[in-house]
Chains A and B, each alone.
Chain A
């Protein structure tokens, strides 16, 4: 619960106490009657108001302590929050879609079974019904992806009205995008940082000189080498490093240590580039 609330507010929560909880009305959600918490100094209230479609009601309870109160809301247990909204209606039959139904079937209306417009607010993990973790089960991810595409692909809707076709195209491409992002460890890691508010920015230049030196040397060696076995040696060593870093990364993400994860990901990007060059070299020289 603590982790869930922390995720919701970008990890800036310092303390919280829950006064009462209800039974779980929604899948992956906890209904909360009352939570008061003391945010850290850099807590940004405007960010809380933007989560999901439902506005979060935050009431400053005490001006001296700066404590906030959170009332009557459903907190997703699944990290990367989406507020469970009850206000959505099916565009086709106009029946109301409760959060419960929505969670069970986000892509189709449970009454008329019609495809729905794409839901922008959900994370890639939610879209593919996967756990938000770095070492996610790739096979399961692929399974979910194929299953979804078998239902959402525009080919299935070729004889349907234009509007339905466009919903299918949107849904399908959103699922594609989510899958592409989550499939590769590097992009998955970068995306997870983005979700946590610790994205790697273009202007970032905070990187150890000794590490840069190492990368420079590997690159120099690689660009001079024509001997395939030597190139392969470098590639193998590089792969080992990639493996190591990814293991570390999974641990840091698990511990929600995003700063450290960010640092590792920056290195990972460099090694991934080397890996790419090695593969290119091996590939082109064989042909």
Chain B
């Protein structure tokens, strides 16, 4: 009985995050989204991917289960500890896309420490996110933190490798 009842997959509908096309029409149709959100949504900056295997690339992957959003944010760091490039890919609502787009824009050219100081409240303020969408900016902050953490872990293992090599050669 159970299987028969659950067989109707068309019954599964997303509850919270509207589909992209539906959102696009709604974005233009209503003024409920701030122009900054619409701007980032329609012209997202820095969409794409960096090489995950690169030692100078940090990757942050975070999700918001309540909406079914997933966000990937990557940073490329040079030898002086400056973020020279940032890319993101977000599958989720307009606010999540705008938040991550803005985040990549902000962290580019910053040092690791400066990037870690970016707060979700700043993102939310810039995009004038309504309270129900605050978690999207939090997701962006989490993504930055995760990318920084991933980079640092990679670097420490790289250092460890170097030391090992040195030790083995000497």
**Complex contact A272–B62 (CB within 8 A):** no
Number of residues from A at the complex interface, CB < 8 A: 45
Q: How far is the CB of A179 from chain B (nearest CB, A)?
A: 12
Given the known interface contacts A200-B66, A276-B19, the answer about A269 and B91 at a Cβ–Cβ threshold of 8 Å is no
Write out, one digit per residue, whether chain A residues 266-283 have a CB within 8 A of any chain B CB (1) or not (0): 101110110111011000
Number of residues from B at the complex interface, CB < 8 A: 34
Q: How far is the CA of A111 from the CA of B12 in the complex (A)?
A: 42
Q: How far is the CB of A143 from chain B (nearest CB, A)?
A: 13
Is A32 interfacial (CB-CB < 8 Å)?
Answer: no
Is A243 interfacial (CB-CB < 8 Å)?
Answer: yes
Tell me which of A200, A216, A239 contacts B72 (CB under 8 A): A216
Is A138 interfacial (CB-CB < 8 Å)?
Answer: yes
SS of B interface (majority): mixed
Is A190 interfacial (CB-CB < 8 Å)?
Answer: yes
**Complex contact B15–A190 (CB within 8 A):** yes
Q: How far is the CA of A47 from the CA of B1 in the complex (A)?
A: 35
Q: How far is the CB of B142 from chain A (nearest CB, A)?
A: 6
In the complex, chain A residues 129-152 whose Cβ is within 8 Å of any chain B Cβ: 135-139
In the complex, chain B residues 112-133 whose Cβ is within 8 Å of any chain A Cβ: 132
Q: How far is the CB of A237 from chain B (nearest CB, A)?
A: 13
**Complex contact A250–B2 (CB within 8 A):** yes
SS of A interface (majority): helix
Write out, one digit per residue, whether chain B residues 126-148 have a CB within 8 A of any chain A CB (1) or not (0): 00000010010011001000000
Is A205 interfacial (CB-CB < 8 Å)?
Answer: yes
23 A/B residue pairs, CB under 8 Å, sorted by A:
A136-B5, A138-B5, A185-B6, A186-B13, A202-B135, A203-B135, A204-B65, A205-B65, A212-B62, A213-B61, A216-B91, A219-B70, A219-B91, A243-B7, A246-B6, A247-B3, A250-B2, A269-B67, A270-B63, A270-B68, A272-B12, A273-B14, A275-B12
